[in-house]
Each structure stands twice: as C-alpha cells, then as structure tokens.
Amino acid sequence: MSHSIWRFAAAAAVLVVAFPVLAQQGLPPPGPPPAGYNGQPSTPADQSDRLRQGLNLRPDQETALQAFVASMQPNVREMDEIRAQSERDAALPTPQRLDGMVARMDRMRTMAMARIATVRAFYAQLTPAQQHAFDAMPPMH
C-alpha cells in the first residue's frame, strides 16, 4: 500500500513541476507582415503585377506567369468537398474513417503536385537573374 502512495506522490510531483513548463510552450507570436502588405488578401491581378515588376518579366513569359498565378489560387470547391467528406466520415468506424483520411490526403497531394508542376514550369521560363529574384521573394498569399 505504501508503494502505491509513493508512486502516486511521485507522479503528482512530476506533473506539478512539468505543468508550468508545458503550459508555456506554444507558437511564437506572428512576425511583422511582409513589406507592402495592407491587410487584404492579394488578388490574382496584384500577384501578377508584383511578379511582373519584381522579376522584370518579358512579354514571352506572360503565359507561364498567368498559369502560375492561376495555379496558386485556392480551389475553394475542392477544399469544401474534402471538408464535407471528412465530416461525413466522422460517423464511420475507425478503419473506414482511416481509409477516408488516406483518400483525402491522396486528393490533396494530387492538388499540391499539380501546383508544384506549375511552379517548376514557371521557374524554368525565368532567366538565372529572375530565378534568383524569385527565390528571394516572400511566399504568395
């Protein structure tokens, strides 16, 4: 009996000491917004203009630019369908819920790979100096 009390006391002491440390861990506060950010989401036209000016794009690079900017736009319908399927799957038994999770991850990976291919195609159209400037730009939002 006394061993149980000592184990309980030791576990409680560990929790009392560890809890303040665990409670302090969290995400750091966000950093300052990027230069020129006005608090509004950028439009595809804003993104195109920023890239055109920041990279000094040539007219023959316009098609790749437009494909790139279009690929960066969120696919709201697709994401809504993924969320809705996730909500429907919540009532399923665990094995089927896990299958649904894998299917949604596969779907999101396909979407990401399509974006990556478009980024690579755009990047390949840039000169080395433009690539260097592109690499230094903040992410598009």
Binned average pLDDT, 10 residues per bin, the chain of 141 residues = 58 56 58 60 83 92 91 84 87 91 91 91 94 88 57
Tell me the backbone φ, ψ of residue 17, rounded to 5 degrees. -75, -40
Residue-level pLDDT at 74: 80
Q: How far apart are CA 26 and CA 85, in angstroms?
A: 30
Per-residue CA distances from 76 to 29, 42, 73, 80, 109 (Å)? 28, 16, 9, 6, 16
Q: Are 98 and 90 in contact (CB under 8 A)?
A: no
